[in-house]
Amino acid sequence: MAATIKSVAELAGVSIKTVSRVVNKEGTVKPDTLKRVEQAIAELKYTPNKAARDLASNATSVLGYVYDNPNAYYIIDMQKGILDVCRKNNFELLIHPCDASSENIAQELVDMVDSAQLAGLVLSPPLSEMPDVLHHLNEKNISYVRILSGDSEFSSTLPYVLVNDFKAAFHITEHLIAQGHKHIAFIAGEVIHKSTTERLNGYKAALKKASILFDESLIIEGTYSFETGVKSADVLLSMPSRPTAVFACNDEIAAGTLFGARMKGIDVPNDLAIAGFEDSPFSRQTFPPLTTASQPTNEIAQSATSSLIQYLRAKKTKSQFDNLTQTFIPQLVVRRSTKVSL
């Protein structure tokens, strides 16, 4: 049978409470006692029983990662990042894919947290940006950390991590302009994603800086999907004065646009430059490879998760929680889809 706290205590010649103190790093144990206990733990290969722990301390150590995002790579990266931090802190991770457009998504999440007895939630867009969801969580006093698109910090009791899509989009558009483009189309993703409007604003800002008139007809609304790209290519390429460049809101759209351009025999980047966003693995594998903006998803996830855990600890001990918000700026990656000579 597995070792218990009792067997460790006996071997070390101390009470179980002292073992508990060592395991929980309470720090009020004499150095030599500490050593004896640690040795006993090692010898018996003791691992604290999670269930007993949770039960006794009336607090679980399971976080939930809730997502609704079509990008498998993004999710996998997020998961890895969250997991890394969870492991280091003895937390577990529960995965919960869901449908953000569902009628009662807020209730679903609350119920889920309840029934799975979660300590807290990691929310990525678009869930992290839905007022209704946040409101319900707040009401039930559920802890969560948000990853969201934005460029300015704001005050909040709960932790959050920002991704500055505005600046990244600005840089991409500037790059396009630097290649000589003046007619630059913008293909948007779901408007429910704040990233869409942030990226659009970055695009607009760059145009303005270059004194290029913003042309409403060059904006196409769609979803973060390959299909949107294909359809948009169709629309854009049959315009009387067609754009010479396209800034797609993500790589999927960009890949679709590329596909659509191909269908029409349009050469990329000579006849049409295409830029994406997110640096998905396949953005390197299209022909030609896509210019894009790369965000350190893994790091973002880690940062968010450790903030959440710190918050939970502070909450438990009722101590002060310093909400040190990190901001990440996706970096421009130039590839052949926007530049001939590379």
Partner DNA sequence: TTTAAAGATGACAGCGCTGTCATTAGGTGT
Partner DNA sequence: ACACCTAATGACAGCGCTGTCATCTTTAAA
Which spans of this chain sit near its own copies (rule: CB under 8 A)?
Answer: 2, 45, 47, 49-55, 60, 62, 72-73, 75-76, 79-80, 83, 92-97, 114-117, 226, 255-256, 258-259, 262-263, 281-282, 284-287
User: Residue 28 touches which of its own copies, DNA, none (CB < 5 to 8 A by kind)?
Assistant: DNA
The answer to whether 45 contacts DNA (rule: CB under 7 A) is no
The answer to whether 16 contacts DNA (rule: CB under 7 A) is yes
Q: Which of 49, 69, 89, 326 binds DNA (CB under 7 A)?
A: 49
CB of 230 to its own copies, least distance (A): 9
CB of 63 to DNA, least distance (A): 18
Contacts of 6 (CB under 8 A, 6+ apart): 16
C-alpha separations of 255 from 96, 231, 251, 285, 300 in Å: 28, 12, 6, 10, 25
User: Residue 336 touches which of DNA, its own copies, none (CB < 5 to 8 A by kind)?
Assistant: none
CB of 74 to its own copies, least distance (A): 9
The answer to whether 191 contacts DNA (rule: CB under 7 A) is no
The answer to whether 300 contacts DNA (rule: CB under 7 A) is no
The answer to whether 35 contacts DNA (rule: CB under 7 A) is no
Mark the segment that binds DNA (CB under 7 A) among 41-49, 199-207, 237-245, 323-331: 41-49
The answer to whether 58 contacts DNA (rule: CB under 7 A) is yes
The token pair that represents 242 in the structure block: 């067609």
Please identify, using beta-carbon distances, which residue of 2 and 213 lies nearer to its own copies.
Answer: 2
User: How far is it, in rounded angstroms, from Cα 212 to Cα 207?
Assistant: 5
CB of 97 to its own copies, least distance (A): 6
User: Residue 213 touches which of DNA, its own copies, none (CB < 5 to 8 A by kind)?
Assistant: none
User: Three-state secondary structure along the chain?
Assistant: CCCCHHHHHHHHCCCHHHHHHHHCCCCCCCHHHHHHHHHHHHHHCCCCCHHHHHHHHCCCCEEEEEECCCCHHHHHHHHHHHHHHHHHCCCEEEEEECCCCCCCHHHHHHHHHHHHCCCEEEECCCHHHCHHHHHHHHHCCCCEEEEEECCCCCCCCCCEEEECHHHHHHHHHHHHHHCCCCCEEEECCCCCCHHHHHHHHHHHHHHHHCCCCCCHHHEECCCCCHHHHHHHHHHHHCCCCCCCEEEECCHHHHHHHHHHHHHCCCCCCCCCEEECCECCHHHHCCCCCCEEEECCHHHHHHHHHHHHHHHHHHHHHCCCCCCCCCEECCEEECCCCCCCCC
The answer to whether 119 contacts DNA (rule: CB under 7 A) is no
CB of 95 to its own copies, least distance (A): 6
Mark the segment that binds DNA (CB under 7 A) among 13-21, 95-103, 108-116, 209-217: 13-21
Mark the segment that binds DNA (CB under 7 A) among 47-55, 86-94, 114-122, 326-334: 47-55
The answer to whether 20 contacts DNA (rule: CB under 7 A) is yes
Please identify, using beta-carbon distances, which residue of 117 and 138 lies nearer to DNA.
Answer: 117
Picking from 323, 328, 330, the residue whose alpha carbon sits closest to that of residue 160 is: 323
Are β-strands 184-187 and 331-333 bridged in parallel, bridged antiparallel, or unpaired?
A: unpaired
User: Residue 306 touches which of DNA, its own copies, none (CB < 5 to 8 A by kind)?
Assistant: none
Mark the segment that binds DNA (CB under 7 A) among 52-60, 91-99, 212-220, 223-231: 52-60
Q: Which of 38, 48, 70, 171 binds DNA (CB under 7 A)?
A: 48
Instruction: Give the total of residues touching DNA (CB under 7 A).
Output: 28
Angle, CA of 131, 330 and 332, to the nearest 5°:
140
- Binding-site ranges for DNA (CB under 7 A): 1-2, 4-6, 13-18, 20-21, 23-24, 28-30, 33, 46, 48-49, 52-53, 55-58
